[in-house]
Amino acid sequence: MMPFACKGLEHRTGLPVLEVHGVTVRYDGVTALEGITFSLQKGDFVALVGPNGAGKSTLFKAIAGLIKPQEGEIKVYGYEPGGHICIAYIPQRSEVDWNFPATVADVVMMGRIAKLGPLLWPRKKDWEVVYKALKVVGLEEMANRPIRELSGGQQQKAFIARALAQEAELMLLDEPFNGIDAPSQAEILQILKELHHREVTIMLSTHDLEMASQHFDLVMLLNRQLLGFGCPEMVFTPQLLRQAYGGHIQFLQTPEGFRIVGDTCCGHGER
């Protein structure tokens, strides 16, 4: 669906960065996503929310070309995702072995591999890109530290730097705030906003509806089907939220809008 028209949000023209059309994904006959259709313009800043098992990670993996939908098609800049190296999928931190013998700079350099091509070792220019990326996320001091010494927030920043080194134009962040303390969350959000101003298209999944509504132009509400996509006040309506979360969510209607009191989700490890 196209985003609901929102006042104050200028309509961008031009070819969409991402077009998702009628995408359905099933795992062993269980439907994870059904008939998802939406498109993103260059520089969109989107929070993807939905209960556990809603298919958030699945949607990211399909967009990144890691899994192939049974139905529908996904186009990134007009082409199928399988050929692109401009998409960065930043997985949940738990999916990577943080004891791997590598420095922060080494990990960020991994993002450059596709640009380098086989047989070649990184050149001076590539290291410059790496250090620039580390500077953007504020980890330049940590460049030569082993990754096992990083805190959760720093790990997430290193991943964002890696996506920058990859020169990604579309970043998909899977639960980047899971298990990260509040100050680091704020810093990461600040970095992402900066990238947003540089016209990087960013989509991130989160359980935090309040953060989504406060900091993002666009929010997407998912529970296997796409229930709403647009500016927060249009999407986070009691009716749509109830549709997404069933009875597991409580919110207060206030004169300024509504406040989400809590949802009973928030485990980890959905696929």
Partner 1 sequence: MDLILAPLAYPFMVRALIASVIVGIVCGVVGSFVVLRGMTFLGDALAHSILPGVAIGYLLGRGAKGPMFWGAILAAILASLGIGAISKRTRLREDASIGIIFAGMLALGIAIISSVKNYAVDLAHILFGNVLAVSWGDLALIGGLGALVILTVAAFFKEFMVMAFDPVLASTLRIKAGILNYIFLVVISVTVVVSLQTVGVALAVALLITPAATAYLVASRLLTMMAISAAIGVVSGILGLYLSYYFGIASGASIVLVCTAFFLIALTLARSRRI
Binding interface with partner 1 (CB under 8 A): 64-66, 82-85, 87-89, 91, 95-97, 100-103, 106-107, 109-111, 113-114, 116, 118-119, 121-122, 146, 148, 162, 166
* Angstrom distance (rounded) from CA 15 to CA 42: 8
Q: Cβ closer to partner 1: 6 or 86?
A: 86
In the bound state with partner 1, the residue whose beta carbon lies nearer, of 106 and 217, is 106
Name the minimum Å distance from CB 265 to partner 1. 24
Give least dist CB 270 to partner 1, A. 15
* Ramachandran angles phi, psi of 20, nearest 5°: -115, 125
Beta strands 170-173 and 87-90: pairing type? parallel
Q: Least distance in Å: CB of 165 to partner 1?
A: 11
Residue closer to partner 1, measured from CB, 86 or 189? 86
Residue 49 or 108: the one with the smaller Cβ distance to partner 1 is 108
For 65: left if phi > 0, alpha if psi spans -120 to 50, otherwise beta; the answer is: left
CA-to-CA distance for 237 and 242, rounded, in angstroms? 8
Contact 222, 25 (CB under 8 A): no
Please give the C-alpha separations between residue 30 and each of 25, 67, 164, 227, in angstroms, as whole numbers: 9, 15, 35, 19
Could you tell me the two tokens for 157? 């920043």
- Residue number, 148 or 268, with CB nearest to partner 1: 148
Question: At its nearest, how many Å lie between partner 1 and the CB of residue 80?
Answer: 12
**Shortest separation between residue 209's beta carbon and partner 1, angstroms:** 27
Q: Is the dihedral of CA 118, 124, 125, 130 positive or negative?
A: positive
**In the complex with partner 1, which residue's Cβ is closer, 115 or 135?**
115
Q: Which is nearer to partner 1, 41 or 103 (CB)?
A: 103
Distances (CA, A) of 228 to 3, 34, 95, 160: 8, 14, 29, 27
User: Is the CB of residue 126 less than 8 Å from the CB of residue 136?
Assistant: no
Query: In the bound complex, what is the minimum distance in angstroms from residue 121's beta carbon to partner 1?
Result: 7
Cα–Cα distance, 154 to 240 (Å, whole number): 35
Minimum CB separation of residue 139 from partner 1 in Å reads 16
